């Protein structure tokens, strides 16, 4: 198996969720990549299986404690060996981009820690975490959806996952350009025609048109990508 993702979470039932569907889901069923979850609560040390505590210094909210997370990661590394990356998904992490998905798709094993409440004790970040990733400037109620987004983006570009091997290369962002518009049949729909160049059967002309459209879209919608 080329890529293995393990998720440390308080809500394992959220997986595989959307990752069990579509392209990534089919590849998961076929064993082309692997996904497993681990319940953080199973590594709590008291009889109430407590995983959170009040913040040092006071204030609102709760913080996910060191011990359950550290125990879980230690145990997993004993079982599986070192992970290539231990990722914490958090709104204060580095913004996730296509190039990060590309890089991560080349790894063999990653562990993603999903936080809840006010976050996880900083010492877990200091001791274990190798990458901190945000999926955007908004706050989700927990890291699970962020983990699913990241894994979906990775899963679809793992070699052998897409049927059309070249397809991922023409996605938006792969060359810092948005993807050009796409059309299918019929040639005319409610008065709107497929651009005639796409019906010429001339791959050179088609490529040139797509390149020009990609550039035009990027200029108007995401000029920041061209800098
Ligand atoms: N957890 C909560 N919000 C998040 C975000 N925007 N990105 C990653 N993890 C998160």
pLDDT the model gives residue 194: 98
Closest-lying ligand 1 atom to the alpha carbon of residue 136: 6
Residues having CB within 6 Å of any atom of ligand 1:
89-91, 134-136, 138-140, 143, 146
* pLDDT in 10s for each residue of the chain, 227 residues: 689 999 999 999 999 999 999 988 999 999 999 999 999 999 999 999 999 999 999 999 999 999 999 999 999 999 999 999 999 999 999 999 999 999 999 999 999 999 998 899 999 999 999 999 999 999 999 999 999 999 999 998 987 777 555 577 678 887 899 999 999 999 999 999 999 999 999 999 999 999 999 999 999 999 999 98
Closest residue by CA, ligand 1 atom 6 = 91
Closest-lying ligand 1 atom to the alpha carbon of residue 89: 9
pLDDT the model gives residue 164: 59
Tell which one of 7, 139, 141, 144 to mutate to probe ligand 1, the residue whose CB is within 8 A of the most ligand atoms: 139
CA 85 to chain centre: 13
Cβ neighbours of residue 165 under 8 Å, at least 6 residues apart? 159
Closest-lying ligand 1 atom to the alpha carbon of residue 141: 2
pLDDT the model gives residue 165: 53
Q: What would the two tokens of residue 79 be?
A: 């079982």
| pTM for the full predicted model | 0.93
Q: Mapping DSSP to helix (H, G, I), strand (E, B) and coil, where does residue 15 land?
A: coil
Q: Buried b / exposed e across 206-216, counting CB within 10 Å, b at 16+? A: beebbeebbee
Q: What would the two tokens of residue 196 be?
A: 């005639």
């Amino acid at each position: 198996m080329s890529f293995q993702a393990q998720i440390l979470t308080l809500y394992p039932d959220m997986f595989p969720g959307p990752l069990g569907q579509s392209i990534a889901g089919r590849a998961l069923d076929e064993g082309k990549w692997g996904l497993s979850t681990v319940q953080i609560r199973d590594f709590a040390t008291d009889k109430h299986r407590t995983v959170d505590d009040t913040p040092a210094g006071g204030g609102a909210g709760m913080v996910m404690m060191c011990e359950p997370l550290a125990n879980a990661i230690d145990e997993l590394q004993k079982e599986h060996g070192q992970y290539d990356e231990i990722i914490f998904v958090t709104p204060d992490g580095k913004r996730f981009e296509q190039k990060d998905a590309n890089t991560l798709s080349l790894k063999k094993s990653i562990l993603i820690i999903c936080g809840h409440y006010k976050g996880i004790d900083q010492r877990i970040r200091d001791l274990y975490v190798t990458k901190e990733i945000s999926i955007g400037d908004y706050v989700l109620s927990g890291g699970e959806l962020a983990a699913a987004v990241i894994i979906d983006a990775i899963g679809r570009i793992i070699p052998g996952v897409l049927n059309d091997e070249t397809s991922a290369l023409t996605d938006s962002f792969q060359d810092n350009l948005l993807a050009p518009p796409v059309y299918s049949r019929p040639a005319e729909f409610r008065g709107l025609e497929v651009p005639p160049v796409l019906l010429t059967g001339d791959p050179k002309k088609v490529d040139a048109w797509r390149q020009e459209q990609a550039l035009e879209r990027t200029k108007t919608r995401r000029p920041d990508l061209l800098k």
